[in-house]
Amino acid sequence: MQRIYTQDKMLDESIHIETNDIVLIPKGYHPVCVIPGYELYYLWVLVGDSKKLMPNTQENYKWLIK
């Protein structure tokens, strides 16, 4: 399962992903999960002029990072 959403919820999509699927993540947060007993390989690529990784954790979940 892939969810793509922005803080203001202007973008809020949940996507059922199957083998060999590709998902475009135009902006926002993009958590992904899999149920126990299954494997997940998650590869993402940066495109554009800057190609700069700028991690940003949603405020509600910053308590998880210590």
**pLDDT under 70: residue ranges of the chain:** none
pLDDT of 13: 96
Global confidence as pTM: 0.77
Separation of alpha carbons 54 and 60, rounded Å? 18
Check if the beta carbon of residue 13 is closer than 8 Å to that of residue 4.
Answer: yes
* Tens of pLDDT, residues 12-25: 999 999 988 999 99
pLDDT of 1: 94
pLDDT of 3: 96
pLDDT of 65: 84
Number of independent structural domains in the chain? 1
- Range of 21's domain? 1-66
Cα end-to-end distance, the chain, whole Å: 25
